[in-house]
Structure formats: C-alpha cells, structure tokens
Structure 1
Amino acid sequence: MSHTPIRNFQLGDRENANAPDVLPLAREHALQSAGAAFHALADTMPQMVWSTLPDGSHDYYNARWYEFTGVPVGSTDGEGWAHMFHEDDQPEAWKRWSHSLATGDPYEVEYRLRHRSGEYRWMIGRALPILNDDDKIQRWIGTCTDIEDQKRAALQNEILSHELSHRIKNIFAIVSGLISLTARANQAFGQTARELLARIAALGRAHEFVRPHSEKSRPETEDVNLSSLLATIFESYPAFQEGRFTIGGPDIEVASKAATPVALVFHELATNAMKYGALANPDGHIAIELVENGESVTLTWAESGATMHADAEFLPGFGSRLLDLSIDQQLGGSYEREWTPEGLRLTMTVRRDRLQDS
C-alpha cells in the first residue's frame, strides 16, 4: 500500500506579508486555530488518532484512545505508550516504527493493544509524516483501527477449512477402503479397482497440495502453481524419479477448484503413457510445457520414444471422456492431439480465470 506524505501549509495575511510584527501573530493564530480544529475533528473519528514529534515522541491522543485504553490523560505521552502493546508484538512494532522514523516511509503494522478491561484486541496501526516546505518531517499523524472481529472471523474460517479438509481426506480413505474390500471379494474387479484407487490417490495428492495448511503441515514448497502441482501428481511414478519427466514454463497460479481436473487429466495421461506410450519404453520421455497467453494458458504434453501405433485409440474409454469433461467443461478450454514420429503430442488451452478462480 502506497501513501503520500502530508505537506504542511502556512496560513497568513498575504497583504501584510512584509509586516514582521503582523505575520508571526497571524501564523500563530492560524496554527492555534488549526490545532483546535484538528483536535475537534480527531475526537469525532471512530478510530484512535495520535501524533508524534519528528523523533517519534507522542504528544497527542484523541478521545477514542483514552476511551479504549482507560489510562489517565497524558500518561502515554512520550514513550509511555510502549507498555500498552502485547509484549509478543512489541519487537516487530518497534522495528517498523524505527524504520519509518529513520526513512520517512509510511508506518503500518498489526499488533494487540490492551483494552481498559485488561484484554488485548488486534489493531492495525498506520502513520504518515507531515512535511514542511523543505521536505523535513514536522510530525507524524497516525491511527489505530480495531480489527479484532476480522481476526476472529479469519481464525474461524481457517479452523473450518482445516476441519473440512480433514473430513475430505477421511472420505478418500473410506472410499479407497471400500474399493479394496470389493476387489478382495471379487477377483474380476481387481484391475479396475487398482486403476480406480490410483485415480483417487491422484485426487488425494492434489487435495493435499492445495488444501489450507498450518505451519507444521505446510509442504516444503509453498508455491501453489502448475509446475509444483504436476510434480506432486507425478512423484509416485518411477519414471518421474528417474528424470524422464520435464516440466517447463513460468510459475502459473492454480486454485483449489482447478487442481482436481488438472490432477485427473495428467494422472490419466501418465497412466496411459506407462501402458501404451512413451513410458512403456525404458528410454521414453515426457515433456510438459506451460505457456501464458493473455487470458488463456496452454499446457502441452509431448511424448518421445513411444512405441504405440498412431491408429491406436487415444486415452481409451474413460480417459477420453475425462479429458472432455475436465478441459472443455470444467476449465472452459479445448484440446488438440497429433501423432509425431516420437509419439503423442497433446495441446490443451484453458481459460486463465477458470484455472485461478478459487
């Protein structure tokens, strides 16, 4: 957030500007009037307003400050305000305030401020310098805005997101367990069950990648982009560990809604390549290229070293229907396929807003 420093202004009688005995009195009266007007205005604001001298020494708080803190008037002047912050937030607040005093940069920080009840409430503190005609700081004007309710709402949303994520993981586990039990009871279902379990596992990896994380559960890479999502999907394939996948292109953001169709499509492509395409050959290779094109994103899958004949069915049965559903309907795009002497080349173009809208 950018802020423009406030320029000080001088009030005086232009017609008597050359009268040394009149101008100082006019300026003094103007400044006194401006000070009274400022105090009256500040006391009507819902936020706490404060000001400091150029060195950061506080010399004014409006009525909202004293109503909130309950401290005696004048008791937080100078550096007396410091003990009003929660001790855990003081180092960062002091660091940013010291930087602003040294550089003149706008001040902004979140901290907990002690209420008159003894409880602490989250605030966002901001301040801008007032400059004179020589660009020197005359004082700082700042505000404290109560954001406790927003903080609590954000925390509740985070807790809810983690709970929903945990339940989704449990559903994946239950469905996988039911499929495995069915496969053990019906041997004819075995191959279908293995394929279905692999697809569910791909969905699980995509969900784990984009779900809300705590500091302890957060993956090593914090970048939620296409390249890292695809690497997460492919990490269970031996060919990926052998270096037979390459992923190139810029870091393109991907939202949680798009992660599911992307994961299913590329899992199906990799599985098909292992059965019939480039990955069925020990020397085969997969190259994935990501390109930004304004309002769209192009994803290219290129196989080399494939032994599958060009007349063979492309992504047989479920795979073809999945590609139509995911690319055309869910991601608002289209795809083209071609056979090169090296193998399959699939070009998918999707809408950027569908890919990134969460």
Structure 2
Amino acid sequence: MEGWGWQGVHDPERLPAVMAEWQSAIDGGKPFEMVFPLRGADGLFRPFLTRIVPLRDGSGAIARWFGTNTEIGAQVRAEDALAATTAQYEVLTEAMPQMVWSTLPDGFHDYYNAQWYEFTGVPRGSTDGEAWSGMFHPEDQERAWARWRHSLATGEPYEIEYRLRHRSGDYRWTLGRALPVRDADGAIIRWIGTCTDIDEAKRIAEQNELLGRELSHRIKNIFAVIGGLIGLSARRVPEAAAFARDLAGRVTSLARAHDFARPHSEESKPSVEPMSLLGMLRELMRPYPALDDGRITISGDDAVVDDRGATPLALLFHELATNASKYGALSVDDGRVDIAAAAAGDEVHIRWQESGGPAVAGEPSRTGFGTQLASLSITGQLGGRIARDWRPEGLCVEIEVRRDRLSRR
C-alpha cells in the first residue's frame, strides 16, 4: 500500500481530520500521534493508535518518517467500561443520603460526594488529602487517626464514631465506616467510606440510658428496702432469724441477677471479669429455693463468658426462671429444671428442660414482652438461635450460640 493508497482503509468520515493532523506534522516536522479507526480484511473498522516520528539526516533535514499502527480495541473497550462504571459509581454515591468518600491505597482522600459538602459547608476540594481530619472534634482527632492508620496498615474494615463539624459550626455524632477495594491479586487499590449522621439517635440512646439507670437504681433501692425489712422483722422475731438470713440472701442474689439481666450500655455494663458459663447460671438460679433442694441442676461443658455474653444470657435465663416460678415447673413443690450445656467445636448448645410441673396444653396464644426481649437478646446481640418446644411434661428450650460471641477472648 504505497504512496497515498493507505487512505483507502480509513473511515471516510474521519479521514479529513486525519489528513489535517498529518499535514500539520509534516509542515512542522513534529511527531504525529492519533487514534482513529482502520478497516481490516474482514471489512470491520477497529481503533488503532498511530505514532509516526521523523528521521533526520546529518544536516537536520527530514529524510524519512517511521510509523506504527497498534490495534487498541481491547484497551478502548476497557476504558469505555471504566468510564461507564465510574459514571454509575458517581450517580450512586450522589443519590445516597449518606456522605460518601474514597481514598487512594495510602489513605489520601480524593473524592467526596455532594452530601459531604452539604453537611460540612466547606468548599469543594478543601478537605482532600489529610485536610479532612480538621473536621473532627479536637477530642476525637487522635482516636480517629489511630483507628484509620490501623486499618491502612492491616486492611481491616474501618468503623468508628466521632463528632464531625456541621456547617452550623456544631459538632454532630457521626458513624464512619470504610472497606478496602482489592484487585484480583488481593492488593488494596482503593478505600470506599461513608459517614452517617447518628447525632439524634445518639442523644435518644443517651436519654434511654439515663432512664434505664434511674429505673435500675430505683429497683435496687426496692431490693435494699426489702432486705432491710427482713432484717428488722428478724430482730423482732428471733426464732425466725435463720429463715430471715436465707430470705435476705435470696433477695441479694435476685438483685445481682437483675444487674446482669437489664440492658446495658458501654458506660453502665457490669465490670464482669471472664467467668464460667455454668458459674454464671448458678448465680442466676441462686434466688430460687429449688436450686438448694436439688430440683434445679446445672451440668455439662463449661465456657468462658464476660460482659459481652453475660447480659443477653442472663436476660433469657432470668425470664425463663421467672416464668417457671409463676406458671411452670418451679411453681409446684415437685417440679424441676435441668440446664445442660454442651460444646461442639465453635458452637455452645444449652438446653433448659422443665418437668414435674403443671401439664402444658401447648404453645401460649400470646407471647409476653419479656419473652420477646429475651429471644431478641440471643438472636440479635449474640447472633444465636433459640427454639421452644411446649411439651406436655414441660417446656424445653434449645439455645445455640457461637463460643466467640460469649466473650472477647
């Protein structure tokens, strides 16, 4: 294809632009580079990258031009796909109600969606790089930086609550989360993160916590008053002193069980050192005379429990024992409850079996709030499973939880 015959493989619509660029390169003696379609032997046009450079003689005059044509169809398709993906990403992030941001693998922030600028009120681009840290409350900056550096170093998901400066100048509680994006080899190529305004939810939770503490304090005071009345009565009736001491001990145990069973926040949770599962169950059952009578048995494999698992389990077993005392096996002198724990690999299975009590006609038509709450504590807080079987001889409850959800160890 000598001379100017090469023009025959060009797209007629693009050829004038190609010729103009080529003539400009000839006139200026400059390298030529351009992407345009060329027709193949099959009659189809495909994109090519064409590069042409001048070869000069000793005097500097152009003696010849050398060029290459490289088919770049796959590259163009990949770039088009990337552009489409980028456009979809931008549409998605702009449509989200949350603040969305992304960073390079080293943590350099290079993107924020419109919600970020709407919330913060700062000019676009002003929080790129490391400037974003200035948006945190001064008391939260060091903690947020430490958590972010840890995620960058380990690749672990980033999650933290901090106070972010609002456009009003106030600081609002925000939940920050980020996950790494990895390539086919597992290397992190980007971090995608969100910020969610949780200020209102945080304040409601604080109010609920305050109310919960006040209610718990009043209940503890009631237990203390009952204990004092028992002691006062025992002094007036010396022959009942032994009975009074036993009753006061059970009231004290009931107060401890209440502290385990009520919902807690990070601030109000009981300072529970790692303890055994079976030991905790015995502590919860201590207020009930049937334990001393041998009509409550606790056996099987033990497991480590701390405050992470103690409160949800205590809530459930406190509810089971209370209902058994009012309606089930512990409401009669001959009734019994057998609690058995079995560990199998990463799972811990606990069975509550009542027997010897009033005959069970079947599952109740109505489920009480306490029972619902106790069930949610197992499925929600511990991610476990719970099943109730209303057998004629007595209620049987099966609980399964992962061992690592019972404690942080």
TM-score, normalization by structure 2: 0.53
Distance in 2, matches of 1:332 and 1:177, equals: 41
1:45 Cα shift?
1.1
| Structure 2 equivalent of residue 90 of structure 1 | 141
1:350 Cα shift?
5.5
Q: Does 1:101 align with 2:152?
A: yes
Distance in 2, matches of 1:169 and 1:136, equals: 55
Query: Equivalent residues in 2 for 1:1-358 (5 A)?
Result: 16=46, 20=70, 23=73, 27-28=78-79, 31-133=82-184, 135-187=186-238, 189-211=240-262, 215=267, 218-221=270-273, 225-230=277-282, 249-251=301-303, 254-259=313-318, 290-292=340-342, 296-297=350-351, 324=357, 351-353=397-399
Q: Match for 2:341: what amino acid?
A: V
Distance in 2, matches of 1:192 and 1:134, equals: 72
1:109 Cα shift?
2.7
**SS at the partner of 1:89?**
helix
Cα separation, partners in 2 of 1:167 and 1:333, compared to 1, 3 Å: farther
Cα separation, partners in 2 of 1:190 and 1:48, compared to 1, 3 Å: same
1:120 Cα shift?
2.0
1:148-190 deviation digits (Å, cap 9, x = unpaired): 2332233233222222211111111122222333344445654
**SS at the partner of 2:273?**
coil
1:60 Cα shift?
1.3
1:170-221 deviation digits (Å, cap 9, x = unpaired): 1111222223333444456545433432322221232244445675873342
Q: Match for 2:250: what amino acid?
A: R
Identity of aligned residues (%): 47
1:143 Cα shift?
1.5
Cα separation, partners in 2 of 1:332 and 1:225, compared to 1, 3 Å: farther
Distance in 2, matches of 1:298 and 1:27, equals: 60
Q: Is the 8 A contact 2:100 2:113 kept in 1?
A: yes
1:96-150 deviation digits (Å, cap 9, x = unpaired): 3223333444333332211112222222222233344554443322211222233
Q: Is the 8 A contact 2:101 2:113 kept in 1?
A: yes
Distance in 1, matches of 2:256 and 2:119, equals: 48
| Structure 2 equivalent of residue 317 of structure 1 | none
Q: Is the 8 A contact 2:259 2:270 kept in 1?
A: no
**SS at the partner of 1:35?**
helix
Q: Match for 1:249: what amino acid?
A: D
Higher CA-based Rg: 2
Distance in 2, matches of 1:186 and 1:226, equals: 37
Which 5+ residue runs of structure 1 have no aligned equivalent?
1-12, 235-245, 266-287, 300-319, 337-347
Which 5+ residue runs of structure 2 have no aligned equivalent?
1-36, 38-43, 50-69, 287-297, 325-337, 359-363, 365-370, 372-387, 402-409
Distance in 1, matches of 2:195 and 2:283, equals: 45
**SS at the partner of 2:86?**
helix
Cα separation, partners in 2 of 1:193 and 1:73, compared to 1, 3 Å: same
Distance in 2, matches of 1:354 and 1:188, equals: 47
Distance in 1, matches of 2:341 and 2:98, equals: 47
1:89 Cα shift?
2.9
RMSD (Å), alpha carbons:
4.8
**SS at the partner of 1:258?**
helix
1:224 Cα shift?
8.3
Cα separation, partners in 2 of 1:165 and 1:195, compared to 1, 3 Å: same
Cα separation, partners in 2 of 1:203 and 1:134, compared to 1, 3 Å: closer
Higher relative contact order (CA 8 A, sep 6+): 1
Distance in 2, matches of 1:220 and 1:41, equals: 45
Distance in 2, matches of 1:196 and 1:84, equals: 58
Deviates more, 1:169-178 or 1:104-113: 104-113
TM-score, normalization by structure 1: 0.60
1:227 Cα shift?
1.4
1:25 Cα shift?
5.5
**SS at the partner of 2:163?**
strand
Q: Match for 2:200: what amino acid?
A: D
More strand, by proportion: 2
Cα separation, partners in 2 of 1:137 and 1:159, compared to 1, 3 Å: same
Distance in 2, matches of 1:104 and 1:220, equals: 32
User: Number of matched residues?
Assistant: 281
Q: Is the 8 A contact 1:50 1:61 kept in 2?
A: yes
**SS at the partner of 1:126?**
strand
Q: Match for 1:256: what amino acid?
A: L
1:72-117 deviation digits (Å, cap 9, x = unpaired): 1110011110111223333343233223333444333332211112
Distance in 1, matches of 2:341 and 2:110, equals: 56
Deviates more, 1:29-38 or 1:152-161: 29-38
